Amino acid sequence: MLWDIFCTVIDNHGDLGVCWRLSAELARRGEQVRLWVDDASALAWMAPQGQAGVTVLPWLSPLPADRLASLAPADVLVEAFGCEIDAGLLARHRALRPEQPRVWINLEYLSAEAWVERCHALPSPVMNGPAAGWTKWFFYPGFTPATGGLMREPGVADEPTPEWRLDQRQRLGAQAQHCLVSLFCYEPPALPALLARWQTEGQAGQPVHLLVMPGRPAAAVRAVQAEPPAFAEGTDWLRLAWPEAVPQAEFDRTLRACDLNFVRGEDSVVRALWAGRALVWHIYPQDDEAHRDKLGAFLDWLDAPPSLRQFHEVWNGLSAAPLPPIDLPEWQACVQAARAKLLAQSDLVTQLLRFCTEKR
């Protein structure tokens, strides 16, 4: 099938990250994909080699008439995360195949809340505009068999060998005695307390090698360093590394090599689950506090032990309590049990292909 996937980059490139993974995996399975995006600049580091079968197109509003006139009709339209498809493009699709509506998917945000199961795969009749009379289908990624599942490429959830992890950790600059940690976050209020703890005692008596990801995580750590008391970057207990932005596959490998992963948003928490290492999720904060319920539902699904639940609440600014100790063995066992549940379910692309084939 020919797919048109539409993406608006809001902030932090998470939307584009998900859409690129979806586009690339569809193409790897033999589909043809046109990815329409209003700002594709992040693909220069996210996917520098591109992907055969994926064409990236600039999403202008409105689309130029000459672009519309030469456009072959797609079989599937995917609006990612509630963005609106250009009316001219819908009219072009309808004019070319008036008797055959497109399969129109509204790919929604990820949540573990119970209502996702009730809303997944529900139809929404289009009442006006050039696509009036068509049906839009809501497709919800999720953590249970009654949802659309999660993105999962072949091999991404395989447990690496000890030799692979040792080689990868050395490449990342960590020594054998280090606790290797990746930090990918927004501006967590508990970050100063965590860095101060690691600076004086490491992680349970083990030196920490901290990979501070570029962008907002690096800015957040620099802000802590700028505040008194003085923050020493290279103590016996804490070493900071400042990696550059890397392609998605390299980011996934980094998570698999680490002992603990701090992740944020939607895409990276899924990658951290597949990595099977202890994780802490900085959920995207929302003004209406909706993230509080989303985080609670995720921790319920994860069957998080009390220490992991409390750490999440403090890390996300939902509790003023002190940060609890990090129990790496217990947290990793929790994540690996969750990964085993997910591996027994169909992945998102398999479900999406099946759904769209049936609706055609």
Query: In the prediction, which pLDDT does 32 show?
Result: 98
Query: In the prediction, which pLDDT does 289 show?
Result: 78
Give Cα 44 to chain centroid, integer Å. Answer: 18
Name the catalytic one among 15, 31, 267, 313.
15
Give Cα 71 to chain centroid, integer Å. Answer: 31
Q: How far apart are CA 46 and CA 13, in angstroms?
A: 10
DSSP symbols for 207-242: -EEEEE-TTHHHHHHHHHHHSSSP--TB-SSEEEE-
CB 76 within 8 A of CB 102: yes
Q: Tokens 């990801």 label which residue? A: 213
Sheet containing 54-58: order of strands: 54-58, 32-37, 2-7, 76-80, 103-107, 135-139, 123-125
Q: Is there a catalytic annotation at residue 252?
A: no
Report which residue type is found at 37. Answer: V
Per-residue burial over 323-360, b if 16 or more Cβ lie within 10 Å, else e, is beebbbeebbebbeebbeebeebebbbebbbebbeebe
CB 126 within 8 A of CB 132: yes
Q: Write out the two tokens for 303.
A: 């069957």
Q: How far apart are CA 71 and CA 93, in angstroms?
A: 9
CB 105 within 8 A of CB 359: no
Q: How far apart are CA 177 and CA 195, in angstroms?
A: 19
Residue 203: DSSP 8-state: B
Q: Which of 210, 170, 168, 186 is nearest to 326 (CA)?
A: 210
Per-residue pLDDT of the chain (360 residues; tens, 9 = 90+): 999 999 998 877 889 999 999 999 999 999 999 999 999 999 999 999 999 999 999 998 888 888 888 889 899 999 999 888 989 999 988 888 887 788 999 999 999 999 999 999 999 999 999 999 999 999 999 999 999 999 999 999 999 999 999 999 999 999 999 999 999 999 999 999 999 999 999 999 999 999 999 999 999 999 999 988 777 666 789 999 999 999 999 999 999 999 999 999 899 999 999 999 999 999 988 877 788 999 999 999 999 999 999 999 999 999 999 999 999 999 999 999 999 999 999 999 999 999 999 998
Q: How far apart are CA 38 and CA 53, in angstroms?
A: 20
Q: Is there a catalytic annotation at residue 167?
A: no
Nearest-5° Cα angle at 206, 198 to 183? 50
Sequence-distant (6+) residues with CB within 8 A of 100 are: none
Give the long-range contacts of residues 351-359, CB within 8 A, separation 24 or more.
Answer: 351/148, 351/149, 352/105, 352/139, 352/148, 353/26, 353/29, 353/31, 355/105, 355/121, 355/137, 355/139, 356/1, 356/75, 356/76, 356/103, 356/105, 357/1, 359/103, 359/137
Sorted by where each starts, the structural domains of the chain and their CATH numbers stand as 2-149+346-359 (3.40.50), 162-343 (3.40.50)
Q: How far apart are CA 11 and CA 74, in angstroms?
A: 28
Q: Write out the two tokens for 245.
A: 């932005």
Name the catalytic one among 259, 266, 267, 313.
266
Residue 291: DSSP 8-state: H
Q: Which of 132, 71, 127 is nearest to 98 (CA)?
A: 132
What is the CB-side half-sphere exposure of residue 199 using CA atoms within 13 A? 16
Give the per-residue SS3 of 33-77.
Answer: EEEEECCCCCHHHHCCCCCCCEEEEECCCCCCHHHHHCCCCCCEE
- Reported residue count of the chain is 360
pTM of the model: 0.95
Query: In the prediction, which pLDDT does 204 show?
Result: 94
Query: In the prediction, which pLDDT does 317 show?
Result: 94
Q: How far apart are CA 65 and CA 84, in angstroms?
A: 18
